[in-house]
Structure 1
Amino acid sequence: MSADAHETLILPPPLRRVLPAARWERVNVGESGAGVWRSQRFVVKVQARDGLQFPSTLQQERERLRWLAGRVPVPRVVGYELEAGLEYLALTRVPGLDASHPDVLFHPERLVNLLARALRELHALPLRECPFNMSLPVVLARARERVAAGVVDESDFDDERQGRTAVSVFNELARTRPAHEDLVVTHGDACLPNFIVNGEFIDGLIDVGRAGIADRHADLALTHRSLGRNLSPDSAEGFLDLYGREYVDPDRLAYYRLLDELF
C-alpha cells in the first residue's frame, strides 16, 4: 500500500490523539515522493517505508528537522508513526506561500535575494555540529543502489537527457566526479517549492530529508535550475551573483544537476 493508494488521510491512533480534528486538504505541489495533507495549522506527510523508492525516509526528515530547529526556520515536528508499512510525519504548518507560487514569482528581484540570503545562512552553519553526511561517497553509493534496483524514473530526466538510461547517467557521474568537495550544511533538495515565503522573509525550509553535509553546489545547482524554469535565466544568474560568484563552479553546477536525476 502506498501513500497514493487513498485520497483520504487516515491517521494512526497516536497521531489522532495529538492532532485536533480538522479538514485535511491534499497538496500536490512538490516532488518529495510523499503524500502530503494540510489543515489550517498542521501538515501530515505519508509515504511507504521503502528506502530505495524514495530519496529519503520520513524518519530521516524528522531527525533533520529536529537538528535544524533553532538554527534555521523549519516546521516543528508534532509526531511520527510507522504503521502497516507507511510512515506518517506530522508537522506544524509554516504560514506563507511556497516560492513557486505565482504571487511570489511576481516579485522576482525580492525572491532571488531571499533565496540567496537563505542559502548563505544555511551554508554558514558549523560543519562540526551537523551529524548528517550527504557527501559524494554516501550519495553516489545511494545512487548506485537505486540504479541497480531499477527505481530511477528515466522519463523524468531533464530535457537534455531524455532517452538516456540511469546506468549511463551513473557511469558519467562516476567518470566525472569532482576531485574536491566544498562542504557546507546543505538543504539537499533546494528547489523553489521547498522554500516558504512570508512577506519579506523565508519563514520555512521544508522537505529537508536529504539535508546534511555536502558540496554547496548540491543546493546551488537545484535553486539555479528551479529559478531558470520558474522565472528566467537572468533571474537564475542573478541568484548566483547575489550568493557570491567566488563560490560558484559552473562544472560542479552541471555535475549536481546530473546527480539529481537519480533521486
Structure 2
Amino acid sequence: MLGRVSPADAPRLTLPEPLRRALPAARWERVTGGASGASVWRSTRFVVKVQPRQAHAGSTLQQERERLRWFAGRVPVPELVGFEVTPDAEYLVMTRVPGISMSHPDALLHPERVVTLLARALRELHALSIRDCPFTRTLAVALPLARERVQAGVVDESDFDEERQGRSAVSVFNELARTRPAQEDLVVTHGDATLDNLIVSGEYVEGLIDLGRAGIADRHIDLALAWREVRGELGDVYAGMFLDLYGRALVDEGKLAYYMLLDELF
C-alpha cells in the first residue's frame, strides 16, 4: 500500500560491539526522531538514544550522560547503562522509566493532575543547591551557543512558534541580545522542560528525561517551556493554574517571553 513501510524496509537499531555484548537480546522499537537529530529506541527494559556527531548540536549525548550521573539520587532520572562513541555517532543506553509522558493523551485526560505534578517536579528540581551543580546554562553560555548556531545556518526557522513565523534566526538573535534581562534568577534547571520529558505514573513523576541541556540557569528557562506546553495542550486556564501552583511570586512574565524566544534557536 502506498505510504506504508514494510518490515524489511523499517529502520533497525545497530549497536556498537561493546553495547551489543553488554545488553541482553531484545526487540527494539523505534520511538521517535527528536528535534536534536537523535533517534530513540526502546525495549521492555532499556532505552537507546543515537545521535549523529555533528557541529553546533544543541546538546550531545555525552553531556546527557554526565548529567544523568549527577542527577542520580537527587531527582528521579533513568539509570545510566552504557555509552559509546563511534566516528559517526554517539550511543547512550538508559533504563526505561515506567509510565507515560505528560504529553500522552491518557495523561492529558487529567489536566489538574498534570499541572500539579509538573509544578511540583519543577519546584523540587529548582530547589537543588546550585553550589553542587557542575553544569552551567546561563545566558553567558547559551547566547554564544545560539549565535554559533545562527551563523552556522542550523536553526530551523520553519519550526518557529506561530507568532514568529516568517522571521529570520538573525532577527531573533538580535532581539535576544537587545532585550537580555539584567539579572538571572539562577537555579538548577532541566533546560528542556516540555511535557514529553516528564514521565508520570498515577500520582507520581517517575522520571525526568532528555537532560542534555540541564544546568544552572534562570528558572524561567523551564517555566517558559512548561507554561507554553500546558497552554498549547490544555488551554489558558490550566497554564495559569500551573504558574499559581509553582508560585506566582517567582514568575516574571517578561522572562517567560524572553526564554520562549531563546528556545527558537535550539
Q: TM-score, normalised by structure 2?
A: 0.95
Cα distance, 1:119 vs structure 2? 0.2
1:35 corresponds to 2:13: no
SS at match of 1:127: coil
Q: TM-score, normalised by structure 1?
A: 0.96
Give per-residue Cα distances to partners, 1:59-106, cap 9 Å, x unaligned: 000000100000000001100000132000000000000000010000
Name the CA distance, whole Å, in 2 between partners of 1:30 and 1:182: 29
Give per-residue Cα distances to partners, 1:168-207, cap 9 Å, x unaligned: 0000000000000000000000000000001110000000
CA RMSD in angstroms comes to 1.0
Cα distance change on mapping 1:30 and 1:245 into 2, 3 Å: farther
| Contact residue 79 and residue 91 of structure 1 kept, 8 A | yes
The letter for the 1-side match of 2:49 is: K
The letter for the 1-side match of 2:176 is: L
The letter for the 2-side match of 1:78 is: V
Question: Superposition pairs for residues 99-248 of structure 1, below 5 Å?
Answer: 99-248=102-251
Name the CA distance, whole Å, in 2 between partners of 1:57 and 1:108: 32
Name the CA distance, whole Å, in 2 between partners of 1:111 and 1:102: 11
Q: Which residue of the other structure, out of 67, 71, 76, is the alignment partner of 1:64?
A: 67
Which runs of 5 or more structure 2 residues have no equivalent in the other structure?
1-9
Name the CA distance, whole Å, in 2 between partners of 1:98 and 1:37: 15
Name the CA distance, whole Å, in 2 between partners of 1:181 and 1:156: 27
Cα distance, 1:30 vs structure 2? 5.3
| Contact residue 37 and residue 52 of structure 2 kept, 8 A | no
Name the CA distance, whole Å, in 1 between partners of 2:33 and 2:103: 9
User: How many pairs are equivalent?
Assistant: 257
1:11 corresponds to 2:19: no
Name the CA distance, whole Å, in 1 between partners of 2:34 and 2:120: 22
Cα distance, 1:252 vs structure 2? 0.2
Identity of aligned residues (%): 70
| Contact residue 197 and residue 203 of structure 1 kept, 8 A | yes
Cα distance change on mapping 1:68 and 1:24 into 2, 3 Å: same
Moved >4 Å (runs of 4+): none
1:21 corresponds to 2:25: yes
The letter for the 2-side match of 1:128 is: R
Which runs of 5 or more structure 1 residues have no equivalent in the other structure?
1-5
Cα distance change on mapping 1:29 and 1:150 into 2, 3 Å: closer
Name the CA distance, whole Å, in 2 between partners of 1:262 and 1:66: 27
| Contact residue 111 and residue 234 of structure 2 kept, 8 A | yes
Cα distance, 1:18 vs structure 2? 1.1
1:90 corresponds to 2:93: yes
